[in-house]
């Protein structure tokens, strides 16, 4: 197992290198450059000033040269300096990372709990009114755009009912933990929605399949209670594929955080990413995208490891 993990980690290196090439090319291919921010002000700026600005940032060089410079520094752990703030990219990411991880974590836990309850109940009571309701709600949850759902929640709970803050984040030092958690509620719900919908569907299908298996009949023939039959024999099998999908989706959660953080003015990486995009802040964009890529690759490995840990029939050499 250790050898397997080591080999997978080594395989990540060329994979991530390839990803950075593509990311770098795509970012550079987008029209406009970091000087756009200067030009958008509407005032006349001498072309030589723009040129000098581009030369100072290094974007006057051919793209391959820029890439080699960037990757050379990145391999030494230096992700460069942000164009817009002139602060080190690593520092900016680390500063924002906790807020994003907090949102991802709470959305993940919320989604896992709700999906487990809804999926199990839908499978055990197949074709009941609850099953039909959760089926419809799931399709709605998967189909509904995140930004729209976020706006609706803000309107209902923030503006009309006034129960929860519309956006932002309470400072831990000022308002205390409870105050801070109030700000976390709506973004977590919005971010978790599509995962609640997806995972509960997976679990329902997986559990329905497991409950039809011969070993369930064996368990019943032993005189076990329905709780033990479903909870021990059914769920232990049904959760294997679902937990693997959950691990894979962790990376998707990072992507979902971008939109959610923007709607709720959550001070995480997602919002910073959107700002970096508008500013054509190449080093910051590359830094954030690299982080996202690492997450995708790492969570893929985690999913495989979890799968082997849960299913005794699977062993990696």
Partner 1 sequence: MSGRTGRTEDAARASEPEVVAGADGAGGSRTVEPVLSVRNLTTRFHTRSGTVHAVNGISYELRAGETLALVGESGSGKSVSALSVMGLVPPPGTIEHGQVLLNGRDLLQASERERRDVRGREVAMVFQDPMTSLNPVLTVGRQLAEPLRRHLGMGAREARAASAALMKRVGIPNPADRLSDHPHQFSGGQRQRIMIAMALACRPSVLIADEPTTALDVTIQAQIVALVRELQDEMGMAILWITHDLALVAGFADRVAVMYGGTIVEEAGVGELYADPRHPYTRGLLASLPRLDDPRARLTSIEGRPPDLKAPPTSCPFASRCDWAVDRCEKEVPPLMDVPSVSGRSGPGQHRSACWRWDDLGGAVDAAFPGRAEAGEFA
Least distance (Å) from partner 1 to the CB of residue 295? Answer: 29
Rg (CA), the chain: 24
Least distance (Å) from partner 1 to the CB of residue 245? Answer: 17
- Residue with smaller CB distance to partner 1, 89 or 239: 239
Least distance (Å) from partner 1 to the CB of residue 174? Answer: 49
- Residue with smaller CB distance to partner 1, 240 or 247: 240
∠ Cα 205 241 294 (to 5°)? 130
Q: How far apart are CA 173 and CA 290, in angstroms?
A: 32
Least distance (Å) from partner 1 to the CB of residue 240? Answer: 7
Longest dimension (CA), the chain: 86
Least distance (Å) from partner 1 to the CB of residue 7? Answer: 24
Least distance (Å) from partner 1 to the CB of residue 122? Answer: 16
Least distance (Å) from partner 1 to the CB of residue 4? Answer: 19
Q: Tell me the CA end-to-end span of the chain in Å, nearest whole number.
A: 6
- Residue with smaller CB distance to partner 1, 44 or 127: 127
- Residue with smaller CB distance to partner 1, 43 or 222: 222
Other C-beta atoms lying within 10 Å of the C-beta of residue 173: 7
- Residue with smaller CB distance to partner 1, 213 or 305: 213
Per the structure block, which two tokens stand in for 281? 């802040």
- Residue with smaller CB distance to partner 1, 89 or 210: 210
Integer angstrom CA distances of residue 213 from 56, 202, 219:
67, 17, 10
What single-letter DSSP state applies at residue 268? S
Tell me the residue length of the chain. Answer: 317
Residues 6+ apart with CB under 8 A from 267: 96, 99, 169, 261
Q: How far apart are CA 114 and CA 116, in angstroms?
A: 5
Q: How far apart are CA 218 and CA 167, in angstroms?
A: 53
- Residue with smaller CB distance to partner 1, 11 or 128: 128
Q: Which residues bind partner 1 (CB under 8 A)?
A: 213-215, 217-225, 228, 232-233, 236-237, 240, 310-313
Least distance (Å) from partner 1 to the CB of residue 315? Answer: 10
Per residue in 13-26, is it b (16+ CB within 10 Å) or e — as a string?
eeeeeebbeebbee
- Residue with smaller CB distance to partner 1, 96 or 233: 233
Other C-beta atoms lying within 10 Å of the C-beta of residue 29: 8
DSSP string, 78-139: ---B-TTT-SBHHHHHHHHHHHHHHHHHHHHHHHHHHHHHHHHHHHHTTTSHHHHHHHHHHH
């Amino acid at each position: 197992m250790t050898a397997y993990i080591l080999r997978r980690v080594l395989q990540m290196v060329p994979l991530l290198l390839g990803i950075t090439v593509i990311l770098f090319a795509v970012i550079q291919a987008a029209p406009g450059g970091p000087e756009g921010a200067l030009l958008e002000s509407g005032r006349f700026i001498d072309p030589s000033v723009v040129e000098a600005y581009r030369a100072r940032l290094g974007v006057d060089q051919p793209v391959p040269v820029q890439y080699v410079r960037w990757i050379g520094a990145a391999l030494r752990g230096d992700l460069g300096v942000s164009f817009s703030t002139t602060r080190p990219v690593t520092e900016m990411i680390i500063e924002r990372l906790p807020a994003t991880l907090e949102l991802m974590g709470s959305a993940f836990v919320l989604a896992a709990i709700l999906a487990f309850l809804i999926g199990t109940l839908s499978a055990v009571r197949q074709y009941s009114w609850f099953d039909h309701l959760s089926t419809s709600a799931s399709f709605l949850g998967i189909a509904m755009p995140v930004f729209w759902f976020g706006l609706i929640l803000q309107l209902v709970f923030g503006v009309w009912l006034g129960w929860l803050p519309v956006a932002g984040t309470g400072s831990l030092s000022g308002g205390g933990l409870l105050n801070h958690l109030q700000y976390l509620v709506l973004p977590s719900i919005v971010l978790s929605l599509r995962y609640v919908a997806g995972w509960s569907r997976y679990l329902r299908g997986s559990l329905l399949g497991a409950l039809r298996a011969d070993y369930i009949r064996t368990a019943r023939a032993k005189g076990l209670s329905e709780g033990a039959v479903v909870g021990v024999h059914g769920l232990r099998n049904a959760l294997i594929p679902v937990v693997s999908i959950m691990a894979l989706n962790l990376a998707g959660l990072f992507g979902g955080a971008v939109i959610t953080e923007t709607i709720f003015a959550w001070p995480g990486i997602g919002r910073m990413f959107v700002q970096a995009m508008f500013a054509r802040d190449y080093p910051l964009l590359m830094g954030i995208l690299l982080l996202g890529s690492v997450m995708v690759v790492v969570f893929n490995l985690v999913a495989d490891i979890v799968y082997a840990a849960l299913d005794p029939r699977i062993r990696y050499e």
